Structure formats: C-alpha cells, structure tokens
Amino acid sequence: MGRDLEQILQDEDPQVVRVAKDSASQMLINIHLAELRERMKLTQTDIANTLGVKQPTVSDMEQRGRDLRLSSLKRYVEASGGKLRLDVELPDGSHYRFSV
C-alpha cells in the first residue's frame, strides 16, 4: 500500500518541505477562479446560490492574490461542477496526485 502525504513529508528534508509548501501556496493564490466560472458559463450569483452565500462573497473569493483556504477552494470548484485534485511535484521530478 502507498504512503500518505504526511508519511512522505516526514521523510523529506524540512527545507524541501518548506519550499514545496511555499510554492503550493503561491500556486493556489494565483488560481483564477473567475476564469473557471466563466468557462462553465456560470455567474457569481450561480456560484453563490450553490455555496449558500451572497454574491459579494464569491466576488471576494475571486480577487487575485486572495489567499483562500483549501477547503474554500474545494467548495468553489465543486460549486462550478468540478473536482479539485492536487498535484505535488517534488524536487526529484516525481509527482504525487490526489483528490482533495
């Protein structure tokens, strides 16, 4: 059976883990949620209704540079009809992909 992410991270050099986490954070910050929503031909109001929030909340989530929690990102993606998957690339070039 494969190892889970926590086991993999425990075996890595702490500096490598820190750099990977920083890189992942930057990638998440720069995701363009509005582009995803528009591609699905949805409005901010459509997403808001699915999430059970008001439209300004969705507008705030879509702001560039907004540091969303992964759980918020997951809910947004699912509200647009998608599934969130995470791809982690380690310094050795190997990839670990998993659904969130």
- The CATH number of the domain holding residue 67 is 1.10.260.40
Calpha distance 95→59 (Å, rounded): 33
Total of domains in the chain: 1
Which amino acid, residue 87? D
- The model's confidence at residue 18, banded by pLDDT at 50, 70 and 90, is confident
Place of tokens 């310094």: 91
Whether the Cβ atoms of residue 11 and residue 94 lie closer than 8 Å to each other: no
Nearest alpha carbon to residue 67 among 33, 39, 93, 35: 33
Burial string for 43-63 (b: 16+ CB within 10 Å, else e) reads: ebebbbebbeeeeeebeebbe
Calpha distance 79→42 (Å, rounded): 10
Calpha distance 40→79 (Å, rounded): 10
In sequence order, what are the beta bridge partners of 97? 87
Give the model confidence (pLDDT) of 40-90 as tens digits.
999 999 999 999 999 999 998 888 767 788 899 899 999 999 999 999 888
- The pLDDT, as a whole number, for residue 62 is 85
Domain that holds residue 24: 5-99
